[in-house]
Chains A and B, each alone.
Chain A
Amino acid sequence: MESRVVNKGQISELLDKLAKDYNLIAPIKEETMTLFRRVSGAQDVLLDYNNSDISPKGCFLPQNEKTFSYMYTGDTLEINKPEGVQKTVLFGARPCDIKAILTFDPVFEGVKFGDEYYSNKRKSTVIIGLSCSKVLSTCFCYAMGGGPCDGTGSDLLLTEIGDKYYVEVNTEKGKALVDAYSQIFSSQGAEQLAKDKEELAKKLSGEFVRKVDLTGVKEVLDGNFELPYWDGDNAKKCIGCGTCTYVCPTCHCFDIFDYPTGDFTGDRLRCWDSCMFPEYTLEAGGHNPRPTRKERIRNRFMHKIKYHLDRYNMVGCVGCGRCVNKCPVNIDITKIINDLKEVAQNV
């Protein structure tokens, strides 16, 4: 694996260039929020931030996406697909959020079904990750196979060390990018920075305060769909909002519907949906297989710690802590995991 060095003084130059050559998506501040948005240059980009309020998953699965528009004229039906996707750089994504994109891949680029809307964007996007410099009290990526300086899934990973960024080149795509801007990415001093990065990773890995351990949890869920645990306080206190799912970098459910703009014209859209909404599984005949919050809560957490593992051998939570932070009633996946471990003792 190759590595490079960027002087902090040159990061603005890099961002300006990227914004010119690519559709550049980067973290910005909007009032109190840290969000990923398209930027026109370095001036708006936030380099020093704790994890963003909303993950950058929208780069690949936008909250609203037009899949095609239709027009029926009486004898012909015209279908128009949106124009091709732009070359994009996703800059500044945190390791947990990049890992989350890896959990999307088998869903949208599966063996049986491929989703061109997703894979076109995935193919034309270069992911430049940014290691964390701080661990929040809600973070637990370490327990989900990640880490604050883990570059898995990124094309390039930047780690801030003193007045430099240490750059790990993880893919061919990443290599092509550093070669294209070779006046900014130098090789000088990379060896020392590699050591410094190891040190930083070690230091940060000692800062996690949430004790989370998945061992044995899936096994108890495998044989026990109807655990009385799911009738407990979580089902009672959940208010059934979409907050946890919309802020979650690995939640990927969507709804498809037509949005008519005239009698026989309109758009077919796909928009984020949430398994916590009552109408999510409501069937045309009126039956709802997940009629109450108990079934919905169970589904969300089973998806994270069982179903995604069953299907793709990947845990469906990356430990970003967003749902922990934002749930209005403090439903906490780390507590659920710990509770289930306790339950496991007694089944």
Chain B
Amino acid sequence: MMDVIQQLREQAKKLLEEKKVDLVIGFGQGTELARTTPVFIDSPEGVSKLTWGPFCANNLAKYLTDYKNAPGNIAVVVKGCDSRSINRLLDDNQISRDKVVIIGVPCSGQLEWQKVSAEIKPGASLKEVVDNGDSVSVKTDAGDYKFDKKDYLLHRCLVCENPNPVVSDLTIGKEQPVKNYEDRFAEVQALEQMSTEEKNAYWDKQFSRCLRCYACRNVCSVCTCQTCVFDQMLPMWVSKRTNLSENTAFHLTRAFHVAGRCVDCGECDRVCPMDIPLRKLNQKIHKDLGDLFESPTPGTKPGLVSPLGEFSPGDPEEFM
């Protein structure tokens, strides 16, 4: 992992020194041992802030639209899943390809920081992180810890489709083996087995908990509307009140608005402060899009047509 960090810093330095980019967006050490935070580096001296490892969950492609009208070019560090966002942003004309330098880093899975943190002695400082394949060793000044990936990975990483970036200008680190997950939709299939009443009860319970903080929407790289309906005061489609009816309106609108564009990066699910399993909603849509339209996960290739975003006069649907 150290050599990946080293190379990242060198490449970022080079890009900034040669003025190929004005800004590098990457991961830096966070305020907890097992946590990173987005960093925005605009000078070659700043590159020592860059880090890499199994605590880089954030999808930094999210920030690209903030800079779409900025004069210079932007480099961004992406994992496999995040790189799908870039394809999607390009296909939606949200960013232009020549403004972005994509630094891809093959990823062997991201751990849930809260779970890891709970095991480590508070206040310990990090010495080294080693990826052992099935586990991650975290060496600290208060002792060494080992985390089995199957118990600590983020849910999305357990069924990762693209450990290697699907689009990049430079790749840093070893290519990771691509696995085929038979049980990719296991959680959704379990939900599908439920009766309608059970499903209602399940989702009512989840949605009732929602605070409508909109972290799930704001973190999403494909939520790119300038003004979201949920922020509109006139007309007030959905009020600030939280109750089951308005929360459900929010959740279904959000899920359907990203249907066919959601790249399954899992960020919405990760950031929810109320642990609402948003990914299950998105995954149901992914599964259906696959079953009905043989549609691959959005963003896996450039130029994929979104099955719900295409208009064709020859569409067999009678109501069209």
Contact = CB atoms under 8 A, between A and B. Distances in A.
Interface of A: 30-33, 35, 53-54, 63-64, 135-138, 207, 209, 233, 236-237, 239-243, 246-247, 255, 257, 259, 269, 271-274, 277-279, 282, 324-326, 328-332, 334-335
Q: Interface centre among B38, B66, B212, by most A CB within 10 Å?
A: B38
A271 B241 contact: yes
Interface in B62-109: 62-63, 66
Contact of B214 (A33, A242, A335): A242
Nearest to A274: B213
A319 to B, nearest CB: 14
B270 A328 contact: yes
Given A233-B40, A237-B38, A271-B240, A326 B231 contact: no
The 5 closest A-B pairs by CB, nearest first: A209-B123, A241-B215, A328-B271, A330-B37, A242-B213
Q: Interface centre among B38, B63, B241, B243, by most A CB within 10 Å?
A: B241
Contacts of B209: 30, 33, 35
B149 interface: no
A236 B40 contact: yes
B213 A246 contact: yes
Contact of B239 (A209, A259, A274): A259
A35 B210 CA distance: 12
Contact of A246 (B35, B38, B211, B270): B211
Given A33-B275, A325-B114, A241 B233 contact: no
Interface in B227-251: 231, 233, 236, 239-243
A239 B35 contact: no
Contacts of A31: 275
B248 to A, nearest CB: 15
Interface residues of B, number: 40
B117 interface: yes
A330 B30 contact: yes
B40 A237 contact: yes
Interface in B157-201: none
A45 B180 CA distance: 44
Contacts of B274: 33, 53-54
A241 B123 contact: no
Given A53-B273, A269-B241, A274-B213, 12 more contacts: A32-B275, A33-B274, A54-B274, A137-B123, A138-B32, A209-B123, A237-B40, A242-B212, A259-B239, A269-B239, A329-B38, A332-B31
Nearest to A233: B40
Interface of A is mostly: loop
A67 to B, nearest CB: 12
Q: Interface centre among B231, B240, B243, B267, by most A CB within 10 Å?
A: B240
Given A33-B275, A329-B37, A330-B36, A243 B213 contact: yes
A325 B31 CA distance: 10
Contacts of B35: 330
B314 to A, nearest CB: 41
Given A237-B38, A328-B270, A64 B215 contact: no
Given A237-B40, A246-B211, A137 B117 contact: yes
A102 to B, nearest CB: 24
A106 B15 CA distance: 53
A241 B123 CA distance: 28
B283 interface: no
B7 interface: no
Q: Interface centre among A33, A241, A247, A325, by most B CB within 10 Å?
A: A241
Given A63-B211, A209-B122, A239 B233 contact: no
B218 interface: yes
B282 interface: no
B71 to A, nearest CB: 16
Contacts of B275: 31-33
A54 B272 CA distance: 13
Contacts of A138: 32
11 contacts: A35-B209, A54-B211, A137-B32, A233-B37, A233-B39, A237-B63, A241-B215, A241-B271, A243-B273, A255-B240, A329-B38
B101 to A, nearest CB: 18
B117 A328 contact: no
B58 interface: yes
B267 to A, nearest CB: 8
Interface in B1-59: 30-32, 35-40, 58
A213 to B, nearest CB: 16
A61 B273 CA distance: 19
Nearest to A241: B215
Nearest to A237: B38
